[in-house]
Amino acid sequence: MKILVIDGCHRKGNTWKITQKAMEEIKEFFPDVTYEEIVLIKENLPFCQGCSSCFRVGHDKCPHGEIMCRILEKIDQAEGVIVCSSTFNWRETGILKNLFDHLCFMLHRPYFYKGKALVITTTGGTGGKKSAKSISSSLYGIGFNRCYNASFATYSWNDYKPSARDIEKVSRKAARFAKDVKSKKLHSPSYMQLIPYNIMRGMGQHYTSKSEYPTEDGHWWSSEKRGEYAYFPQVKLPFYKRWFGQLFYVLGKWLGGMKFMQVSYKKAR
């Protein structure tokens, strides 16, 4: 089992201590597990410029595409992902937020349908749960199938010693995450995941190669393996969720045809 650890922290402090406990717990259950780590601060990923290249012509045309394509390849190759971050102002760190900014195109065309993540956050006081929710929301948005959140109040600048209670908590979450990864089960998406997926599927029909403003979104959603399904075809949906998704697909297609909703990507001078 191959797990990718995305370290959104600037230093190996409190967050890394509890993350190591999670990694040790997984190793206890699955001795064959291997870890690969991405330390985001060392990737030197510049700030997203908002140039829209990823939306218009593809993420590989991003000004920082070399770095991003390498990170995306590692996520794609991993069987599971651990994302750890300290909490800054009730949210994830800026360097982790910057990664998600670069992944905004996947909110239009989600990809990681097999993805499962363990999200670990720490805070010196409050806000840890909110930062974990922020991270998992971004992961669900880009297609992740299931996220397990674990947040911890460390009450220490850099001298946190995980308590027995914290160790039990992270061990429990880590075990659930690892067993789910090993099972390879693909869980049925929530209704809140089906809504944006199908609205974008519908709106994407107006940006195909035959439209006035063709984009990568249109190319993506006009593919037969995506355009005809209410969710990733590899994930089974009960009939009522297929109908629910189809309803929002029709809504998205209608909205995409409205003049005021048309996105030209023309920049003001």
Q: How high is the pLDDT of residue 38? A: 97
The pTM (predicted TM-score) of the whole model is: 0.94
pLDDT tens string 221-247: 998 888 789 999 999 999 999 999 999
Q: What is the pLDDT of residues 80-129, one digit of tens each?
A: 999 999 999 999 999 999 999 999 999 999 999 999 999 999 998 889 99
What integer best gives the mean pLDDT of the chain?
A: 94
Q: For residue 266, what pLDDT is reported?
A: 62
Residues 122-162: tens digit of each pLDDT: 998 889 999 999 999 999 999 999 999 999 999 887 788 99
User: Using CA of residue 181, residue 182, residue 184, residue 189, what is the dihedral sign?
Assistant: negative
Reported as a pLDDT band with limits 50, 70 and 90, residue 269 is: very low
The letter for the amino acid at 233 is P
The string over 230-250, giving b where at least 16 C-beta atoms fall within 10 Å of a residue's C-beta and e elsewhere, is bbbeebebeeebeebbbebbe
For β-strands 116-123 and 80-86, DSSP reports them as parallel
Higher pLDDT, residue 157 or 269: 157
Q: Give the whole-angstrom CA distance, residue 90 versus residue 92.
A: 7
Domain 2-183 sits in which CATH superfamily?
Flavodoxin domain (3.40.50.360)
Percent of the chain residues past pLDDT 70, beyond the cut? 98
What strands lie across the sheet with 146-153, from one edge to the other?
A: 34-39, 2-7, 80-86, 116-123, 146-153
Domain boundaries, the chain: 2-183, 191-261
Non-local CB neighbours of 66 within 8 Å, separated by 6+ positions: none
